[in-house]
Amino acid sequence: MPIRVIGLNNRTATIETREIFSFDASGVKAALEDWKKRFPEAEAALVSTCNRTELYFATERGVLPSDVDVFPFLIAPKHKSDDPPVSFERFASVFQTFDNVDAIKRLFSVASSLDSMILGEPQILSQVKRAYDIALATGSAGPILNGAFQTAFKTAKRISVETGVFKRRVSVPSVAVVDFALNIFERVNDKRTLVLGAGEMAEETLKYLVDYGAKSIGVANRSRDKAEALASKWNGRVVDWEDRVDALTSSDLVICATGASEPIVDLKQCEKGIEQRVERPLFILDLAVPRNVDPELGKCPNVYLYSVDDLEKACARNKELRDKEIPKATRIVDEEASGFVSGVNARRSIDAIKTLRENWSKIKDEEVERLLRKIDCDQREEAEIRYAFERLVNKLLHSPTVSLRAEAEQGPNSRLLEAMRRLFKL
C-alpha cells in the first residue's frame, strides 16, 4: 500500500512561506486536474488551510512519484512564475514527509485536530472534508484515499465521542462564553448583550456569543466609527459612549475590552440601575488589563463579574484536563490506522489468492477434462474424480492463504505478497 504525504505547516514554516503554498478551492481543483494528467496511475488529495498545505498521494501498484516530481503541485498558482523560481531545494527543509502507516496516522491526526495550532479546533475537520470532496469531484481520489479519508472522519468522530479533547475550551473568549456565561444563562438568544470596546478580544468573544444564539447586541466605543463597524458586522446597534452605564445596567451580558488605563464603569455610577434590576442576573466579562470595571461591582447581588485572570485560570485547568485526554485520542488514531492498513493488505492478499485460485482452477479443469477423455467412468466416478482434484487445489492453496492473511494482520510489509506475485506470475 504505497501512500505518502508531503507538506508544511505553522510549526515548520513562517506565514510568508506558507503563503507561497496556500491554495483556495479553485486552485486545489486545478492542481488535482493537472495531477491526473501527469500521474494517471496515482491518487491524490490536497489539504490547504491557513496553517498547513499537505498533499496525500497513493497507488495500488507500482512506485510513487518522487518528492521532487510532486513539488510543483504544491506551489500556489500565483507563485509559479516567481523570480527566483520556487524550487524544491530552496524549501526542502520546511517540508515533512510521512510514508504508509505513518502517512495514514498523519491524516487521521490532522482530521481529528490533534495536529492543529489549537488542539481540538472543530474547523479542521470540515476543511479536510472539503479537500476530500474536491478530490472526489476531480476523480483524483481512488480506492486507497477514499478508504483513508472515510476512516479519518470515523476516527475524528470516535475521538469526539470517546475523549474530552473537543470538550475542553482553552482560549479566553471560548472559556468566557462556554464555561462562564452558559453556566449562568441556559440560553443567550433572549438576552441583551453589550460590548464595550471594539478590538480583537471583544469581537472574538462576541463571535462565540453569536454562535450560541445572541441576537440583541449593542456596541459602545470611544471611537464611534469602530463601534459602527463592529455593530454592522454582527447585526448590532451602536450605543453612545456617554450612555454606556445605563446600557450596562439594562443588559444581561456585558463584554468589556477597551484600552482604557482606568475603570470606565464604577460602582457608584451603577448602583441605581442595579437596584432596579430586581433579581435579574448581570454577567460581566472584564477582559481588559488594566481592568475596565470597578471590582466592587462584583459584590452586588446577582452581579457576576469575572476578570481575565479568572478566565486564564479556567483555561489552564481546561488545558490540563484536555491534555490528559491526548494519549487516549492517540491510541484511537493508532488503532484505526492499524485496522485500515491491515484491511488494505488483506484486500490485496485476497485479490492475489483469488487470481491464483482462478489460474489453478483453470489448469485443474483442463487436466480433469483430459483425464476423463482417456478413461471410461460412470457419473459417480466422474464426480469423485472432480471432487478429488478440487480438494487438491484447496489444500495446496491453504498454506499461502493463511500466510498472506497473517502478514496482513502484522502490518504493511508486503514482501511475501510481492514474492508470490513474481513466483506464480500473477
In 10 A of CB 47, how many CB atoms? 25
Taking the C-alpha atoms of residue 51 and residue 14, their distance in angstroms, rounded to an integer, is 10
pLDDT tens, position by position, 146-155: 999 999 999 9
CATH topology for 3-167? Beta Polymerase; domain 2 (3.30.460)
* Per-residue model confidence (pLDDT) at position 114: 87
Going from N- to C-terminal start, the domains of the chain cover 3-167, 172-320, 340-423
Chain-centroid distance of CA 52 in Å reads: 11
User: Quick one: pLDDT at residue 95?
Assistant: 95
| Angstrom distances, CA of residue 334 to CA of 104, 112, 301, 339, 340 | 9, 12, 52, 8, 10
Catalytic residue among 50, 270, 300, 315: 50
Dump pLDDT digits (tens) for 72-97. 999 988 898 888 889 999 999 999 99
Contacts of 63 (CB under 8 A, 6+ apart): 2
With beta carbons less than 8 A apart as the criterion, state whether 19 and 48 touch: no
| Higher-scoring residue by pLDDT: 291, 400 | 291
CATH of region 172-320: 3.40.50.720
Torsions phi, psi for 43 (to 5 deg): -85, 160
315 a catalytic residue: no
Q: What is the 3 state secondary structure string of 297-354?
A: HHHCCCEEEEEHHHHHHHHHHHHHHHHCCHHHHHHHHHHHHHHHHHHHHHHHHHHHHH
pLDDT: is 26 or 408 the higher one? 26
- Provide the pairing of β-strand 96-99 with 3-9: antiparallel
The beta strands (E) that lie in 137-240 are given as 192-196, 216-220, 237-238
Q: Is the whole-model pTM more than 0.85?
A: no
| Rounded Cα gap, residues 111 and 106, in angstroms | 9
What whole-number distance in Å separates Cα of residue 113 and Cα of residue 227? 34
User: Considering only CA atoms, which of 277, 412, 261, 267 is closest in space to residue 349?
Assistant: 412
